[in-house]
Amino acid sequence: MPETPTVYVTRQIPAVGLDRLRERYEVVVWDGKLPPATEHIEAQLASLDADGLVCLLSDDIDADVLDASPNLSVVSTFSVGYDHLNLAAAAERDIAVGHTPGVLTETTADLAWALLLTCARRTVEGHAYVDADEWETWGPRLLTGADVHDATLGIVGLGKIGTAVARRGAGFGVDVLYTGPTRKPDREAELAEVGVDATFVGRDELLAESDFVSLHVPLTAETAGFLGEAEFRRMPEDAILINTSRGGVVDTDALDTALARGWIGRAGLDVTDPEPLPGDHPILRHAPERLVVTPHIGSASVGTRDRMAEMTAANVEAGIEGDDLPTSALGDAGTE
């Protein structure tokens, strides 16, 4: 009788995914709250002769990890982004790589808007004010913020999440500017149908003209440090930056300087560099007045995390069977 394939999982993912894997495979799960060390992942893959690996975006899956088990046929990441995986090395070794696109688009777009509204209307600051027992009376200038309705929203990367964020602008009557490698007439038409006027512009025009700039690009060699000092200086002094893409797309020191010198108004970050952001990081001195940070929770709704777990399991099954993965990360230029 053939041996049951083994799968190593680097964290407790939702039960719906783990249970599905356990129906067919020997499954070993890292039970720690923090990610296992890369050496530990390698050792586990080697000792299990693992056929599959389920990983998270916080794991560094390099060529040594991929070489740890000669049986390894599939790596399935519980994320849409895959900048933590060496895709070229996986392709060279004929190891399939799966990810979870599409399913977290709307949930992440919701979070981008949560940060945008929070920064514009200073809600975190307002809560801290009440919590500190400072609320004595109604004040004509108390916590006045920025209007969101009728604003100009700049989207960097009009992909799936960028488009979902832009679409939500319909209810606020915003005008959308977007930038990226190419114009997207189909996306423009999709947005026009819900009454959002989206105009393709160059990066500098977008930065200069937008009240809100929301980042939705993958982290690549080209997008790393996309926003640095020169870019912040181009933005209006009351502009609000929202980043739900990857921390490395923004130069953190430059953002710190931009907030300190008033080159921009506020920033809302779901992703940071470094990540996790230590509680004593200097940039946090701007919070909550100029900065709001959430701990990479863009896709963190119960329903979406369950769907991601199912997709992750489905990719493992296909990889071990030698079938095409339902959602492969190999052969894509972006994060399809």
Residues annotated catalytic, as ranges = 246, 275, 296
Task: Determine the 3-state secondary structure of 212 from DSSP.
Answer: strand
| Stretch in the footprint of ligand NAP (CB under 6 A) among 63-71, 123-131, 240-248, 273-281 | 240-248
Q: Is the sign of the CA dihedral 183, 185, 186, 188 positive or negative?
A: positive
Closest to ligand NAP by CB, 70 vs 181, is 181
State the DSSP H helix or E strand holding residue 6, giving kind and residue range, or none if neither.
Answer: strand 6-9
Question: What type of residue sits at position 163?
Answer: T
Burial class, 193, CB count within 10 angstroms (exposed 0-12 / middle 13-18 / buried 19+): exposed
The interface mask with ligand NAP, positions 104-133, x = CB under 6 A, is xx--x-------------------------
Spell out, one character per residue from 192 to 231, where the chain touches ligand NAP: x when CB under 6 A holds, - when not: ------------------------xxxx--xx--------
Three-state SS across 47-106? HHCCCEEEECCCCCECHHHHCCCCCCCEEEECCCCCCCECHHHHHHCCCEEECCCCCCHH
CA nearest neighbour of 111 among 306, 295, 334: 295
Taking CB under 6 A as the rule, does residue 248 contact ligand NAP? no
DSSP per residue over 257-289, as a string?
A: HHHHHTSSSEEEESS-SSSSPPTT-GGGGGTTT
Cα–Cα distance measured from residue 287 to residue 283, given in angstroms and rounded to the nearest whole number: 8
User: Is residue 271 involved in binding ligand NAP (CB under 6 A)?
Assistant: yes
Compute how many residues bind ligand NAP; rule: CB under 6 A: 35
Is residue 157 a contact residue for ligand NAP (CB under 6 A)? yes
**Residue 328 binds ligand NAP, judged by CB under 6 A:** no
Does 159 interact with ligand NAP (rule: CB under 6 A)?
A: yes
Place of tokens 């709307």: 106
State which of residues 181, 202, 282, 326 lies at the interface with ligand NAP (CB under 6 A): 181
Residue span binding ligand NAP (CB under 6 A) among the ranges 64-72, 84-92, 150-158, 189-197: 150-158
Q: Give the gyration radius of the chain's Cα atoms.
A: 22
Is position 269 an interface residue for ligand NAP (rule: CB under 6 A)? no
Least Cβ distance, residue 164 to ligand NAP (angstroms):
8
Q: How far is the CB of 24 from ligand NAP (least distance, A)?
A: 28
State phi, psi for 78 to the nearest 5 degrees: -85, 60
- Are 54 and 76 in contact by the 8 Å Cβ rule? The answer is yes
Are β-strands 152-156 and 175-179 bridged in parallel, bridged antiparallel, or unpaired? parallel
Out of 55, 80, 148, 191, point to the residue binding ligand NAP (CB under 6 A): 80
Distance, in Å, from the CA atom of 30 to the CA atom of 190, rounded to the nearest integer, reads 43
Which of 5, 36, 52, 81 is close enough to bind ligand NAP by CB under 6 A? 81
Nearer to ligand NAP (CB atom), residue 6 or residue 328: 328
Q: By CB under 6 A, which span of 157-165, 190-198, 206-214, 233-241 interacts with ligand NAP?
A: 157-165
The two three-digit tokens of residue 246, written as one number: 């990857």
**Of residues 145 and 247, the one with the C-beta less far from ligand NAP:** 247
Q: Which is nearer to ligand NAP, 56 or 95 (CB)?
A: 56
By CB under 6 A, name the binding residues for ligand NAP: 80-81, 101, 104-105, 108, 156-162, 179-182, 216-219, 222-223, 244-246, 270-271, 296, 298-299, 333-336
